[in-house]
Structure 1
Amino acid sequence: MNVTIRVHRFTPKPEEDRARRHSSSPFGAKARNGSPFGSSPSRRRVRGKHWTQDYAIQVQPGQTVLDCLLGIKRDTDPTLAFRYSCGHGICGSDAVAINGTPTLLCTAKVEDYAKPESGQNGGANAMADEGFRPTATKENVVANNASVNDSNQSYDDGRSRIIPSSGDPNNLGGFDDSNGAAANSDSPSNLGLIEIAPLPGFPVLRDLIVDIDQMMSQIKKLEPYLKADGKLATTEDGKIDMFEYLQRPEELKRYELLSNCISCGVCEGSCPVYAGGEAFIGPAALIAASRFINDSRDDDTNARLNAIATADGITACQSVRACSRECPRGIDVGEEMWQLTERVKNRQI
């Protein structure tokens, strides 16, 4: 089956070009680093070239979007950059936005995300981006045919509409010479389009690779490790009690699911507050804090609650609950944010 993979690509400017641009200005990057009003270096937008690129490929049923990108990088375009590691939804390193929805490349099935291309081969029932059907006039038909004919052309901004999966430059438009049918035709074998963009809310380093350093530093800031009193329990005969941290099943259940968080950033890319650039520590860091707040063995609960009860902490959460929609580990992040809000309100100060 045929599918078109549309990738939002980005190439940063060389470091020397960015430094030379501000070298003569007293308000350059060096002067702004110490300002309390400037953005942090990890959140500062990297300048470079943005464009979209389409790849027409053939896929098998059950393939993931990661399989598609690996095939493109191997057979068609070795310059395509994306991040992945385990390929099984465990490491969380391949988080991107597919059709605008943050998710993992390795768990996203092609048949679940492929959609018909808007305005192409849709006839009178095709819907415009604004949600209205176009009027079937002679002018619209001519304009639509012209846009289809021009869809395989290259543009001055470097955007290539179709790159054939075979790598043959003469096979433009994804035509299959074996049967004369176009790869992007309206046929049962054409799955449609999958659009892939970098994870929202994170600075883009190259193509689909984003900088997650700020998210990891925010998690580290809330000290995601067990804090006990340090006193070893002993038995009646003075020996160390090997079961000093023994928990009941209901105590384990309170945080067990939270310990499965893989810090992929999907919840942060879904959050309109964090991805919108507001001052917010983010749901990933708050989930890490909640894991130990709910642990009966931890003795620093009040200090943890005070640490997140700040203007850029749980207070900045707007309870939209968009962070719960696509968690690959099944954590109801929005519910956890609500529970933390209640715990902060009722904490012992």
Structure 2
Amino acid sequence: MLSVTLRVARFTPKPERPGRRRGGSPFGSKSPFGGDGSESRSNRVRGKRWSQDYTVLAHADDSVLDCLLAVKRDQDPSLAFRYSCGHGMCGSDAVAINGTPTLLCTAKVRDWARPDSPEYANEDGFRPTGEPLDSSEHAIDLDALAPDTPLVIELAALPGFPTRRDLIADIDPMLDQIRRLKPYLEAKNELKTTAEGKVNVFEYLQHPDELARYELLSNCIACGVCEGSCPVYAGGEAFVGPAAMIMSSRFLNDSRDAAFQARLTALMGPDGSAACQSVRACSMHCPKGIDVGEELWQTIQKVDAAKAQLQ
């Protein structure tokens, strides 16, 4: 068993005044993301912020979610975090672990626990972020440490979104952006028939090569990890975000979809594909293995080609 300290960035929102809308902008009613100012992801909820340590006994193969559940059950029932399936399928438990966006349920203690010592900070005095801690450069062999070595895992809400309480981020702005790009199949409504007048079902079958173009993209669980990793989106810039673009790309690559041009047009705005800086940080931690950056780049090329045709 390992003694691990969870260092949690906690937050309790300030009670709202009766009759006052949360987050509404006093300077205008429009947001660059559509709707009124109350929907902007840049709005910060006011409240109390502090760091709190919880020490738990855990096995190296336990998940960080297991550790948080132990804290909530035995130490502090007020600690707030979100989870559902607990198996990396729903994406509801995305947070920042040691500064890196990832899922609580798939993060193992052995991959994220590190000695609580300046010796394990980088040369600039900051602990490494933006890359998995099990990489060859930053991996820590827990078995090689002294038994009484204090271990710590730092937890914070997912970057790029307003924090509602403790580790719970408000991902509604991301979901609104996904809905804006119509994440559903828009069929051609052409009923194929045989010479006898019967429905020709074979006309609606896809070749395996056609399925392969979007099959992996359909695995996106809208967890927000790519959004929290993106320096443009998490930095507060007007950007539709990688999750919404991935969802749009899934249908751009579907041979059955009839809204190809309309989908490209929807990404031509200043907060669409043009806002992507191709940093590709969004690809680093996708829990479903999607190369988000590469897919975004291919979508950008399609949008640019469509723009050129319109000129």
Alignment TM class, shorter chain as reference: 0.7 to 0.9
Shift of 1:227: 1.2
Q: Does 1:282 align with 2:283?
A: no
SS of residue matched to 1:77: coil
| Residue in 1 that maps onto 2:182 | 223
Change (3 A) 1:127 1:337: closer
Structure 1 pair 243–191 and aligned structure 2 pair: CA distance change class (3 A):
farther
Q: Is this contact kept in 2: 1:3–1:59, CA < 8 A?
A: yes
Equivalent residue runs for 1:47-126 within 5 Å: 47-119=46-118
> Which residue does the alignment assign to 2:39?
41
Does the 8 A contact of 2:25 with 2:38 survive in 1?
A: no
Q: Secondary structure at the match of 2:87?
A: coil
The verdict on how the C-alpha distance between 1:128 and 1:34 changes in structure 2, with shifts beyond 3 A counting, is closer
Task: Give the root-mean-square deviation of aligned CA atoms.
Answer: 2.4
For residue 131 of structure 1, report the CA deviation from its aligned partner: 4.0
Equivalent-residue separation in structure 2 for 1:100 and 1:198 (angstroms): 10
Most deviating of 201-210 and 239-248: 239-248
CA distance in 2, matches of 1:191, 1:301: 55
Cα distance in 2 for partners of 1:273, 1:245 equals: 40
Distance in 2, matches of 1:268 and 1:220, equals 16
Which letter maps to 1:112?
Answer: D
Contact 2:116 2:150 in 1 (8 A): no
Cross-structure match for 2:155: 196
Q: Is the 8 A contact 1:42 1:213 kept in 2?
A: no
What SS does the corresponding residue of 1:272 show, helix, strand or coil? Answer: coil
**Residues 65 and 191 from structure 1, CA distance in 2 versus in 1: closer, same or farther, beyond 3 angstroms?**
farther
Q: Percent identity, please.
A: 62
SS at match of 1:320: coil
Q: Tell me the TM-score normalized by structure 1.
A: 0.77
Contact persistence 1:114–1:191 (CA under 8 A): no
Unaligned runs of 5+ in 1: 23-27, 133-185
Query: Given that residues 8 and 50 in structure 1 are in contact (C-alpha distance below 8 angstroms), is that contact kept between their aligned partners in structure 2?
Result: yes
CA distance in structure 2 between the aligned counterparts of 1:104 and 1:246, rounded to whole angstroms: 36
Note the alpha carbon deviations across 1:85-118, whole angstroms, 9 max, x for none.
0000000000000001000000000010011113
Equivalent of 2:224 in 265, 273, 280: 265
Shift of 1:60: 1.4
Asked if residue 206 in structure 1 is aligned to residue 162 in structure 2, the reply is no
Quick one: distance in 2 between partners of 1:191 and 1:290?
Answer: 45
Cα deviation for residue 236 of structure 1 reads 1.2
Q: Is the 8 A contact 2:188 2:256 kept in 1?
A: no
C-alpha distance in 2 between matches for 1:18 and 1:194: 40
What corresponds to 1:5 in structure 2? Answer: 6
Q: Report whether the alignment pairs 1:130 with 2:124.
A: yes
Q: Is the CA contact (8 Å cut-off) linking 1:111 and 1:191 kept in structure 2?
A: no
Kindly name which structure, 1 or 2, has the bigger radius of gyration based on alpha carbons: 1
Q: Deviations over 1:222-257 (max 9, x none)?
A: 011111221111011001112232111111100000
Is residue 2:271 matched to residue 1:300?
Answer: no
TM-score, normalising length: structure 2: 0.86
CA distance in 1, matches of 2:123, 2:86: 34
Secondary structure of the residue aligned to 2:232 is helix
Moved more, 326-335 or 190-199: 190-199
Q: 1:82 to 1:129 in 2, by over 3 A?
A: farther
* Contact 2:39–2:173, Cα closer than 8 Å, also in 1: no
Deviation at 1:307, TM superposition (A): 0.7
Any conservation in 2 of the 1:118–1:128 contact (CA below 8 Å)? no
**CA–CA separation in structure 1 for the residues paired with 2:277 and 2:31:** 25
Deviations 1:172-198 (Å, cap 9, x if unpaired)?
xxxxxxxxxxxxxx8335461100000
Q: In structure 2, how many angstroms separate the alpha carbons of the residues matched to 1:17 and 1:187?
A: 55
State the alpha-carbon separation in 2 of the partners of residues 289 and 199 from structure 1: 23
| Superimposed CA distance per residue, residues 54-97 of structure 1 (whole angstroms, 9 cap, x where no aligned partner) | 11111013100000000000000000000000000000000000
Letter in 2 for 1:41: E
Deviates more, 1:297-306 or 1:258-267: 297-306
User: Does the 8 Å CA contact 2:8/2:156 hold for their aligned counterparts?
Assistant: yes
Partner of 2:286: 327
